[in-house]
Amino acid sequence: MTWVWLVPVIVGAFIFLLGIGFVIWGKREEESYYDNLITRTDLREFFTRWPPRPEPGALRTGGWIAIVVGLVAAGIGGVLYLMQK
């Protein structure tokens, strides 16, 4: 029972790292999308949305939400650790 605080800390850290990955992925997708628009002469990808790509804004927003949830979960684990002492 003394390690029950470790579960939210591990889950929180995993979600936090996942959130950071989503923010970075969203930023790279955004740069790739706009760089691709500059090199295209017909802008077909911009108008037809083909090939489909994850929306960069949604990836970054989801990443920030995951970062906050991860920090809250890790904080809960920290409170549980302090309460057991």
Predicted confidence at residue 55, as pLDDT, reads 76
* Contact status, residue 56 vs residue 33, Cβ threshold 8 Å: yes
| Per-residue CA distances from 20 to 12, 25, 27, 43, 81 (Å) | 12, 9, 11, 31, 25
Distance of CA 54 to the CA centre of its chain: 13
Distance between CA atoms of residues 33 and 24, nearest Å: 14
pTM: 0.73
Per-residue pLDDT in tens (0 to 9) along the chain, 85 residues:
578 888 999 999 999 999 999 999 988 888 887 776 666 666 666 666 666 666 778 888 999 999 999 999 999 999 999 988 7
Distance of CA 33 to the CA centre of its chain: 19
Predicted confidence at residue 84, as pLDDT, reads 86
Predicted confidence at residue 40, as pLDDT, reads 63
